[in-house]
Amino acid sequence: MKNPPHSSPSLRWDIFCSVIDNHGDLGVCWRLCADLAQRGHTVRLWVDDASALAWMAPQGCAGVSVHAWPSDETLHALAQDARCQVGDVVVEAFGCELPHACQALMARATPPVWINLEYLSAESYVARSHGLASPVMSGPARGLTKWFFFPGFTANTGGLLREPNLAERHTAFDRTAWLSALPLDKPLAAKERLISLFCYEPTALPDLLKQLSQADAPTRLLVAQGRPSAAVASATQALHMASSGTGQLHISQLPYLRQTDFDHLLWACDLNFVRGEDSLVRALWAGQPFVWHIYPQDDLAHHDKLLALMEALDMPAELRNFHAVWNGLTTGPLPALSRTVIDDWRRWHRQAQQGLQAQTDLTSRLLSFVAQKR
């Protein structure tokens, strides 16, 4: 389904991102920047660590320029230049605090629309908080207003990122050709079940590997680089299993993938293990069943966030049980990943996907919101 067209004029955007997790915060911000640029807007991305873009988006995107997080000295120098202008819209992603000198630049002329783009959640507070004003009471931006913009899963939130051409890209995807081009240690077999793994360090990972090695059909586990690869290495060592797997399981390490190729990975696999925010949304659009590893928090607040997602998407009981064990909400063995179970999850997923695709995407909602505030 196509996203609705938007008739807003071309705007200049400044998007600020302070990297906590290269694959998450920066990934979401880059997708938003690229989506805005492809709709005719000009975007400057200010980021304190852009290193992951070298593999995440190596070709860049026309209309998007990437800049180092500005120091106060740099901003003070810019403030002396009358030609220096803040964008029409300033986005403070995920609660990163703008430098005071930047706030001073925002206050010296026509104030931009100042957006605080929050983290994605299905919890009830999202709808209550979305779109609320936050008057700035102190500092160089005193008197300005920032606006909370919450991504979400319902019509009364900020929605989910979804590019206008995503459905066309998916339809044109050549699964066989893409898989054949992957630099794998061993060619894929025709009857192998394909599972992607992008996770943190789930305690149930050894259980998953053991289950797959003893399954009644061969499985190829495609493991993402970074923490997933390290977690698998630790788990295979604990199981006294070869790093490439054993029995019915063969483990292949993937290279770092561009965002577009990460989408292709999710489209190509029979089941996807994903983590964080960006890959969760991409898994929702992929049309294949998924298991989400939520970012663990010391105060266990992530448990409520996971339960809210299960409820919002009306997950079937078996999939809820799997999520609970995978994320440490409950103990015990992982439910069996039989082909029948995965097929049942796929049918559920496509129903959930259709409902979400019927909603307006995040960028279109953001453009409408900004137009109301200008």
pLDDT tens by residue, 188-214: 998 999 999 999 999 999 999 999 999
Q: Which domains does the chain have, with CATH numbers?
A: 12-160+360-373 (3.40.50), 166-357 (3.40.50.2000)
pLDDT at position 73 is: 74
Q: Model confidence over 305-356: pLDDT tens digits?
A: 999 999 999 999 999 999 999 999 999 899 999 999 999 999 999 999 999 9
pLDDT at position 80 is: 64
The percent of residues above 70 in pLDDT, for the chain, comes to 94
Q: Say yes or no to pLDDT of 230 above 70.
A: yes
**Entry pTM:** 0.94
Q: Say yes or no to pLDDT of 297 above 90.
A: no
pLDDT band at 1 (very low <50, low <70, confident <90, very high): very low
Phi, psi at 344, each rounded to 5°: -65, -45
Least confident of 20-34, 98-112, 243-257, 262-276: 98-112
Q: Model confidence over 139-188: pLDDT tens digits?
A: 889 999 999 999 999 999 999 999 999 999 999 999 999 999 999 999 99
pLDDT band at 22 (very low <50, low <70, confident <90, very high): low
Which active-site residues does the annotation give?
25, 277
pLDDT at position 109 is: 77
Q: CA distances (Å), 20 to each of 24, 50, 96, 241, 295, in order?
A: 8, 12, 10, 33, 12
Q: Model confidence over 66-106: pLDDT tens digits?
A: 999 987 777 666 666 655 678 999 999 998 989 888 888 88
